[in-house]
Amino acid sequence: MLQNQGREMMIVTSGAVAFGKQRLRHEILLSQSVRQALHSGNGLHKEMVLVTNLDFHDDEKRQNLNSTLRELLRMNIVPIINTNDAVVPPPEPNSDLHGVNVISIKDNDSLAARLAVEMKADLLIALSDVEGLYNSPPGTNDAKLIDIFYSGDQQSITYGTKSRVGIGGMEAKVKAALWALQGGTSVVIANGTNPKITGQVITDIVEGKKVGTFFSEVKPAGPSVEEQTEMARNSGRILASLHPDQRSEIICHLAELLTERKNEILAANKMDMKMAVSAGRLPSAMLKRLSLSSVKLSSLAVGLRQIAMAAQDSVGRVVRRTRVAPSLELEQVTVPIGVLLVIFEARPDCLPQVSALAIASGNALLLKGGKEAANTNRVLHQLTQEALSLHGVREAVQMVNTHEEVEDLCRLDKMIDLIVPRGSSQLVRDIQRAAKGIPVLGHSEGICHVYVDADADVDKVIKIVRDSKCDYPAACNSMETLLIHREILRTPMFDKIIEMLRIEQVKIHSGPRFASYLTFSPSEASSLRTEYSDLECCLEVVDGVEEAVEHIHKYGSSHTDVIVTENKETAERFLQQLDSACVFWNASSRFADGYRFGLGAEVGISTARIHARGPVGLEGLLTTKWVLRGDGHTVADFSESGSRKYLHENIPVEQNLTGHRDSN
């Protein structure tokens, strides 16, 4: 496939692997293969070439080999090269006739490296029976896959026994890879033992995805994302053990820095805005999110102080206490989740909010911001680390500045405990697909509905619909579909709704049923499941609350849905039957927000069915653990008579504990 895409490919492998069940016929000569290739047009062919050390150490033979391989490639033939097992001369020293350092051909790894350099190949993929290069033999304790291996890191590797396939081992592969790297060829070692996915492994590597171990001569100045995650986890554990007052103090200090250093923040934001406008790629809604102001920073500082107060009663709080036996006391205690990865687009205000929530809940935090807000994010992260330094936990919040793809970050399932995407529905969907083994907290779409009932008050309808759609159309809690009771059509209330939307310049897309009532209708909605994120909405007609609920269940995204009515019985049916994360009666959908809920800030809005749901604040970033205290004399007796010993007496939790057990 890669050859047909215009790339020139060569394969170095053993005859058994290359040909499988095919029989190598002695009578087929190279000249015959060449003639066949010439007569068959552009068809793809494979040709076996057997070589020895002498083909490289003799100048004339080396030139002949080079010319032969280039001619085969020119004719769209994939050469399959293998050492000639029938004629193997003694190994040559690692230098050629001119004294230049070379690699002696002892196995397929050294042969591949020598050919790659000789042919000036761009890339050498060495397939192994493991995922790549580990810092110690795979399967041993603490063995970690090395994503990028630098030529100066050879002393940090401990090699195991040779591979069960082939005659070389990982040590031979590394030596060959480093030699090829010095010769100007990029090298990746990856797993090639699974026939179902090996092709995908090769194409992923060629496309630049992080697969296996990539060899590099230049080591970047900063830490790798794996090292950053490790630093965050270690510092996060110290953060979780701090007294609640200390965590609150860090957050309050960050709030002060937001106002004290606002000129520095706004100057950086001005640079980002200028670059975004000149690039012309961001829509107006994204530009609004990117922009910061003194008012926004002051509002952020207020929210952070609310979080600081909530931090007093978070980590270490006893949720439940039970006396299991006379000398056994069991407690369920709140604890941090661990390491959070928050990925956000052009919304720098997210950084201090999420950082404060992570600090309050004792979680370590990795931040991956959009490049559009790079300057603003850099300043805000520096201020966050400055605040964390107050109690020696500077590294608990890390900013990932490398060119790591989101897909690569989602592979760190042994290091990251929760991913929180903040951005477009496409970003959330991409992360949900890429995150294998890591829970994702978020929503892929914000298709929010407002249902106007037959018993609605017209003044309330106008206020709620206007605020839900026009206050901030790009927000995920903005109304996208307006459902109207059939009896309201052609009434003064309906006319006032349409007039208000016209004045606010909201473009209406008619649903199929609404369109059927009109002679000349607005443009029909292409889908009833559309998140416009702009001054646009769909308008559809329903017969009553049951049909409204049915419509929302079918086309909604379980985010936020609203009913406007003066009929309490109708409202209660709507609130009970609808299973969205947020359901409101006579209130704007824009209230689905952590700040408006009194959470101080939110890390995101979740439409998931388990763990946190709706606006996720401090409580959503905590889990619990069970703590059992005994005297050492009581044993676990699971027999019928033994089970009667256990009291299971619930003990009132007289006060919320924050990091320390009370005296009771």
pLDDT tens digit string along 38-69?
Answer: 445 455 666 666 676 667 777 888 888 889 89
DSSP letters spanning 64-107: HHHHHHHHHHHTTEEEEEEE-TTS-PPPPPSB-TT--B-----S
Give mean pLDDT, residues 637-650. Answer: 61
pLDDT in tens, 392-418: 999 999 999 766 667 778 888 889 999
H runs (alpha helix) in 156-215: 170-182, 198-206
Decide if pLDDT at 106 tops 70. Answer: yes
pLDDT tens string 469-517 = 999 898 889 999 999 999 999 999 999 999 999 999 999 999 999 999 8
pLDDT per position as a tens digit, 175-187? 899 999 999 999 9
pLDDT of residue 74: 87
The three-state secondary structure class of 653 is: coil
User: What one-character DSSP code corresponds to residue 586?
Assistant: S
* Burial degree of 233 (CB within 10 A; 0-12, 13-18, 19+): buried
Q: What is the mean pLDDT of the chain?
A: 84
Q: Which residues pair with 584 in a beta bridge?
A: 562
Q: Are 433 and 424 in contact (CB under 8 A)?
A: no
Q: Is it the case that residue 154 has pLDDT exceeding 90?
A: no
Q: Give the residue, 566 or 6, on which the prediction is more confident.
A: 566
Question: Which residue in this structure is represented by tokens 């070389």?
Answer: 168
**What's this model's pTM, rounded to 2 decimal places?**
0.75
> Looking at the predicted structure, is the pLDDT value of residue 86 above 60?
no
Integer Cα distance of 245 and 258 in angstroms: 20
- Distance in angstroms (rounded) separating the CA atoms of residues 615 and 612: 8
The predicted pLDDT at position 31 comes to 43
Euclidean distance between CA atoms 331 and 651, whole angstroms: 10
CB atoms near residue 191 (< 10 Å): 16
